Amino acid sequence: MAARPCKTVGYTTNSNPNDAATALNILISMPPQQADKAAQWATAMQSRLPSATVSIDNGGEITQTVDYLLTWQPRADLLSQLTHARALFTASAGVDALLHDPNLPACPVIRLRDAGMGEQMADYALYACLHYARGFDRMRAEQTRSQWTPSAGATSRKPTAGVLGLGTLGCVVAKALVAHRFPVRGWSRRQRELDGVLSFAGSEQLPDFLAACDILICLLPLTPDTHHLMNANAFAQLPSGACVVNLARGDILVEADLLAALDSGHLRGAMLDVFAEEPLPSSHPFWHHPSVTVTPHIAAETLVEPGADQIARNIERLEQGKPAIGCVDRTAGY
Ligand code: NAP
Ligand code: GLV
């Protein structure tokens, strides 16, 4: 079974101007439960590259040559069939799942940069910081006991927010928190300069960074270096009563260590959007833990229109022999 074409028309690549009949094939592959999303991507890509052939993967054998793949969670047997792909685009910021695929072709892997996600991340992070800064977690617990405590312990000191990962999304989050007058510090691999943000870099500066984070917000990519980085040792270095917000990937955090740090009273609370296993199993202790807020990996959803703008621009760049923007460094893992 071949992929289902949206439209078939001739396409002349700029890199190959003499071959007017060259048709550029773009394949969209999303999990079956996201068929509507795949259709939206196909329409958006077709409208931006009208001469290309845009197809939606239907789960069968790939019979046409695929020049570009646009995917989120590709099926297990797809990548090995893309022997001629010029680049793979993810409909996401994170590329951990794709890089772990043993059949990943050698072509460039290109991720989305922001594509509407930054503002959503900033809203989530700000919500989390205000939640803890204003003591809404404590008031929620008091409400379950019908307890009326008029003073929430108001103080002029806002808690310090620490952003792990000052990349595309981490920077938007850090700026939003600065704008809301939170003291903000950030940690990245290389030193970053950001107005109003106290910046730390590298593993040697991680302890100094952690030591003053009242609210630790994770926006790191999942790589071999960040896997299980938020563990018992890191939690112990946070100030007593700190909160943890994971918006990145579940495997960056050791869930059992987080539960132990919450249960011991060292940590006050956690807001978690991502988990080692997704969907979060119904038996998981996070679901009913009084200090944990669970959201189902919705911190920032890719918006198709800005995402398609980026991908179409990048295809044009590649066809012109220019480097794509957002190319993943496979060695670094992000
Ligand atoms: P990005 O632009 O690649 O930024 C990554 C940041 O992490 C950079 O600042 C990088 O440092 C830093 N970093 C990477 N490895 C590090 C290490 N070993 N030590 C210290 N810092 C390290 O990524 P992004 O677009 O901001 O996205 C971040 C992640 O958010 C994605 O990978 C994805 O997993 C997650 N995400 C989640 C959702 C959701 O809905 N929950 C939505 C979108 C994205 P340098 O600046 O020095 O390179
Ligand atoms: C979502 O999790 C993403 O990586 O874009």
pLDDT tens per residue across span 155-184: 889 999 999 999 999 999 999 999 999 999
pLDDT for position 2:
47
Q: Residues 242-266: pLDDT tens digits? A: 999 999 999 999 999 999 999 999 9
pLDDT for position 290:
97
pLDDT band at residue 220, thresholds of 50, 70 and 90?
very high
Handedness of CA 107, 192, 299, 315 (dihedral sign): negative
pLDDT band at residue 315, thresholds of 50, 70 and 90?
very high
Q: How far apart are CA 288 and CA 244, in angstroms?
A: 17
Helices 117-133 and 168-179, axial angle in degrees (round to 10): 50
Residue 146 backbone zone (phi > 0: left; psi -120 to 50: alpha; other: beta): left
Between 79 and 8, whose confidence is greater?
79
pLDDT for position 23:
82
| pLDDT for 325 beyond 90 | yes
Same fold, 5-115+302-325 and 117-294: yes
| pLDDT for 268 beyond 80 | yes
Tell me, yes or no, if 266 is annotated catalytic: no
Q: Is 165 in the pocket of ligand 2 (CB under 6 A)?
A: no
pLDDT average, residue stretch 93-110: 95
Work out the number of other CB atoms within 10 angstroms of the CB of residue 324: 21
pLDDT average, residue stretch 286-310: 98
Tokens 């198709």: give the residue: 304
The set of residues, in sequence order, having a beta carbon less than 8 Å from that of 219 and lying 6+ positions away, is: 121, 163, 164, 165, 167, 169, 170, 173, 247, 248
pLDDT for position 156:
82
pLDDT for position 3:
53
Residue 109 contacts residue 327 (beta carbons within 8 Å): yes
Pairing of β 109-110 and β 161-164: unpaired
pLDDT for position 8:
31
pLDDT for position 152:
65
- Which of the residues 227, 297, 313, 330 is marked catalytic? 297
pLDDT band at residue 122, thresholds of 50, 70 and 90?
very high
Ligand 1 centroid to residue 220 C-alpha, Å: 4
| pTM of full prediction above 0.85 | yes
Counting beta carbons within 10 angstroms of the beta carbon of residue 173, is it exposed (0 to 12), middle (13 to 18) or buried (19 or more)?
Answer: buried
Q: Which atom of ligand 2 is nearest to the CA of 274?
A: 2
The structural architecture, per CATH, of the domain 5-115+302-325 is 3-Layer(aba) Sandwich (3.40)
Q: Which atom of ligand 1 is nearest to the CA of 221?
A: 32
Mean of per-residue pLDDT scores for the chain:
93
- Which of the residues 185, 192, 249, 268 is marked catalytic? 249
β-partners of residue 244 are 216, 270
Task: Spell out the domain ranges in the chain.
Answer: 5-115+302-325, 117-294
| pLDDT for 6 beyond 60 | no
Q: How far apart are CA 41 and CA 70, in angstroms?
A: 9
Tokens, residue 296: 């189902």
Backbone angles phi, psi at 42, to 5 degrees: -60, -45
pLDDT for position 20:
35
Between 313 and 6, whose confidence is greater?
313
Q: How far apart are CA 125 and CA 139, in angstroms?
A: 19
Tell me, yes or no, if 249 is annotated catalytic: yes
| pLDDT for 1 beyond 50 | no
pLDDT for position 11:
30
Please give the sequence-ordered ranges of beta strands (E in DSSP) within 169-241, or none if there are none.
Answer: 184-188, 197-201, 215-218
Q: Is the peptide bond before 279 cis (omega within 30 degrees of 0)?
A: yes
Q: Residues 26-73: pLDDT tens digits? A: 999 999 999 999 999 999 999 999 999 999 999 999 998 999 999 999
CATH number for the region 117-294 comes to: 3.40.50.720
Q: Which atom of ligand 1 is nearest to the CA of 248?
A: 35
| pLDDT for 93 beyond 70 | yes
Q: How far apart are CA 274 and CA 230, in angstroms?
A: 13
| pLDDT for 16 beyond 50 | no
The percentage of residues in the chain with a pLDDT greater than 90, rounded to a whole number, is 91
Q: Write the DSSP assignment of 41-64 as a string of letters.
A: HHHHHHHHSTTSEEEE--SS---S
Nearest to 267 by CA among 229, 245, 235, 228: 235
Ligand 2 centroid to residue 236 C-alpha, Å: 28
Q: CB within 6 Å of ligand 1 — which residues?
A: 93-94, 117, 165-170, 187-190, 192, 219-223, 225-226, 247-249, 273-274, 297, 299-300, 334
Q: How far apart are CA 206 and CA 1, in angstroms?
A: 52
